[in-house]
Amino acid sequence: MAASPASHDLQLDSQGRLRHFLTIEGLSRELLLRIMDVAESFGSVTEQTVKKVPLLRGKSVVNLFFENSTRTLATFELAAKRLSADVLNLNIRTSSTAKGETLLDTIRNLEAMQVDIFVVRHAESGAAHFIARHCAPHVSVINGGDGRHAHPTQAMLDMFTIRRAKGADFGRLKLAIVGDILHSRVARSQIAALKTLGAGEIRVVAPKTLLPAQVESLGVVPYTDLDAGLAGVDVVMMLRLQKERMSGAYLPSESEYFRCFGLTERRLAKAKPDAIVMHPGPINRGVEIDSSVADGPQSVILQQVGHGIAVRMAVLSLSTPGGAP
């Protein structure tokens, strides 16, 4: 399954409004800002005694997860429920797909139940695009992560977290994305979002074996030395080692990786004193990041998790007719 080269045409309706949310590529700066503004408006919902708004009352959301997930699944479920939608989490391992039913068969059967939104997480790149191209006209598809390709809602909650911590002017920021760039769908979506928002400088820091070929073509500055890559940055975005997607000997050992690329307090001191530290989770402590940094005063990792609910509420409501105004 390959992602469509015209993803922006697939994602937007004839009025330029969000219909599906599959990838950051092709979306305008104005739309990304709109997502963050709507997420901001939902921030107060979590502080209410009754944490619900009726925007998606009567709508049905199916979380169709073919890969294991904790944070993404939990935050999508909470986001949909706080919008008053009916939610079904489909356990793929015990579903008909495990008995030989095709992906398209599964979609058709769920559509027959008048489902309105599919949130899709799949190990194969392009799976969400495939469903969006074949689903019924009334259905919206949101990509919860597909292969190495994209994780757009993670990128948007990261952008929202940065804006909350550093203000709206991305143009003055230097950011370093550190770790397994080669296999990371999060990194690809982060880079696309940062470029669209006009980030001042985007660095990628990794061993040569974990950098894509011609990585400069993505509009980033590559570093293979962590100290140099962190020098003077405002934001440090750590990545998880994608060991499940590594088919060869990319690293000598995890301990060697931590020695060269693990984020410690000493290394973080190379960044600006008020730099923030981010991680999409799950964290491999002592591999990508030291616990003293992950739990330290510059970490906004738990804030990212909380912001994920508001951002996914925004995406769900914006991609549904009758949702966010």
Tens of pLDDT, residues 283-321 = 999 999 999 999 999 999 999 999 999 999 999 999 987
Judge whether 156 lies within some domain: yes
Residues 312 and 176 in one domain: no
Residue whose pair of structure tokens reads 């699944």 in the numeric block: 73
| Domain tally, the chain | 2
Which residue range is the domain that position 277 belongs to?
Answer: 152-300
Q: Supply 275's token pair.
A: 């730099």
The residues facing 117 across adjacent strands are: 61, 140
Tens of pLDDT, residues 94-145 = 565 655 568 888 899 999 999 999 999 998 899 999 999 999 999 999 999 9
Residues 171 and 46 in one domain: no
Looking only at the bridges linking them, the beta strands covering 174-178 and 140-146 are: unpaired
Residues 146 and 157 in one domain: no
Q: Supply 235's token pair.
A: 């934001």
- DSSP-derived secondary structure letter, 179: S
Residues 157 and 279 in one domain: yes
Residues 23 and 144 in one domain: yes
Tell me the average pLDDT across 86-98: 74
Q: What does the alpha-carbon distance between residue 222 and residue 17 come to, in Å, rounded to a whole number? A: 35
CATH code of residue 78:
3.40.50.1370
Residues 58 and 111 in one domain: yes
| pLDDT value for 246 | 41
Judge whether 199 lies within some domain: yes
Residues 27 and 117 in one domain: yes
Judge whether 214 lies within some domain: yes
Q: Judge whether residue 324 has pLDDT over 90.
A: no
Three-state DSSP string of 12-77: ECCCCCECCECCCCCCCHHHHHHHHHHHHHHHHHHHCCCCCCCCCCCCEEEEEECCCCCHHHHHHH
Q: What does the alpha-carbon distance between residue 306 and residue 308 come to, in Å, rounded to a whole number? A: 5
Judge whether 1 lies within some domain: no
The pLDDT confidence band at residue 2, using thresholds 50, 70 and 90, is very low
Q: Supply 211's token pair.
A: 């950098």
Tell me the average pLDDT across 203-210: 95
Judge whether 295 lies within some domain: yes
Amino acid letter for position 68: N
Judge whether 2 lies within some domain: no
- Give the predicted TM-score (pTM) of the model: 0.92
| pLDDT value for 5 | 42
Q: Which position has the higher pLDDT, 269 or 44? A: 269
> 103-117, 175-189, 245-259, 269-283 — which is least confidently predicted?
245-259
Judge whether 169 lies within some domain: yes
| pLDDT value for 12 | 94
What residues contact residue 45 under an 8 Å CB cut-off, 6+ apart? Answer: 51, 52, 53, 82, 310, 313
Q: What does the alpha-carbon distance between residue 79 and residue 29 come to, in Å, rounded to a whole number? A: 23
| pLDDT value for 321 | 73
Instruction: Centre a 10 Å sphere on the Cβ of residue 270 and count the other Cβ atoms it contains.
Output: 17
Q: Judge whether residue 257 has pLDDT over 80.
A: yes
Residues 168 and 48 in one domain: no
Amino acid letter for position 306: G
| pLDDT value for 47 | 74
Residues 94 and 27 in one domain: yes
Q: Which position has the higher pLDDT, 253 or 204? A: 204
Tens of pLDDT, residues 27-77 = 999 999 999 999 999 988 877 778 899 999 999 999 999 888 888 999 999
Tell me the average pLDDT across 22-29: 96
- DSSP-derived secondary structure letter, 273: T
Q: What does the alpha-carbon distance between residue 213 and residue 224 come to, in Å, rounded to a whole number? A: 14
Judge whether 324 lies within some domain: no
On average, the pLDDT of the chain sits at 90
| pLDDT value for 248 | 45
Tell me the average pLDDT across 212-227: 96
Q: In what order do the strands lie in the sheet with 117-122?
A: 86-91, 60-65, 117-122, 140-146
Residues 146 and 12 in one domain: yes
Residues 181 and 101 in one domain: no
Q: Supply 100's token pair.
A: 């030989």
Residues 240 and 115 in one domain: no
